[in-house]
Structure 1
């Protein structure tokens, strides 16, 4: 009998509770909520890609840059970012094509010139790389120590073909980050 009395008491207690859905789940059903999503803003693919590059997540950065290309088109920033990600992934042919396209879009975009020089150094075209680094250095008005160092290394390689970049652990490349800010990444 005690069991029945306890069960009835619990039943009456539960009957007094009304079932409420969470405030965000009004009219929930098996389908996703509807509404105006045009007011929602996503994070810029370039910003996400730059953060991923800084963290060494080059493949994910490439995907973020491709998303940015879909949203913004192939701007100089997007092309340079794609070239930089492919450079870090060792896809030198793709990187060179994208960086050359970036330079065609904007011939004053310093990071694209510098990164193209890095690609040319990696492929053994030291003479062309030194010319590219000179252009990047001139466009930057000599402000960047990293571009100066890249130019110095290229000229040293021309003067002394036995000079090896592998001995120098401080190889740099330059990636554009935001409005005129540069993020210097140490090469692997």
Structure 2
């Protein structure tokens, strides 16, 4: 079975460490393709390793900058790091590449736009976010209160 498919299924099951192992095996077979790097980045994002996820997702984009899912997941990582302005730009790119078809990308963009708008008027607030897996390689951000 394809290591990328196995890795994505493991991510769906919340088995992020095992998913990283599957993507590593896929890299041995296929090389560090955009799909392998994006999968590893997504698994690290699920583990809360935001800096590692960001690096891997940026590497994936160097190989395929047309994937809205990779742009979306990078936007999620940037938002997790508190880099709201860049997250907004990245999520706008994901939305444009996706032609607005993905609910999760649209919801993530709305969230970051609301956060950008609120940050102008409000004092900084601590908010807890939860990543929700949507589809095979796509994350959505939810506030804990959602």
- 2:43 is the alignment partner of 1:111: no
Structure 2: 5+ residue stretches without partners: none
Q: Choose 1 or 2 for highest CA Rg.
A: 1
The two structures, once aligned, show a CA RMSD in angstroms of 2.3
Greater share of residues in helix:
2
- Give the number of equivalent residue pairs: 139
**What does 1:38-53 correspond to in 2, within 5 Å?**
43-53=1-11
**What does 1:16-55 correspond to in 2, within 5 Å?**
43-55=1-13
- 2:117 is the alignment partner of 1:159: yes
Aligned partners of 1:104 and 1:85: how far apart in 2? 19
Q: TM-score, structure 1 length as denominator?
A: 0.67
| Residue pair 1:76, 1:102 contacting (<8 A) in 2 also | yes
Q: 2:48 aligns with which of 90, 111, 123?
A: 90
| Residue pair 1:114, 1:174 contacting (<8 A) in 2 also | no
Measured after TM superposition, the shift of residue 145 of structure 1 is 1.2
Q: TM-score, structure 2 length as denominator?
A: 0.85
The structure whose RCO (Cα within 8 Å, separation 6+) is larger is 2
Task: Name the counterpart of 2:28.
Answer: 70
Aligned partners of 1:103 and 1:157: how far apart in 2? 25
Structure 1: 5+ residue stretches without partners: 1-42
Aligned partners of 2:81 and 2:141: how far apart in 1? 19
Measured at CA, do residues 125 and 173 of structure 1 come closer, stay the same or move farther in structure 2, by a change above 3 Å?
farther
Structure 1 runs (4+) greater than 3 angstroms displaced: 162-165, 171-175, 182-188
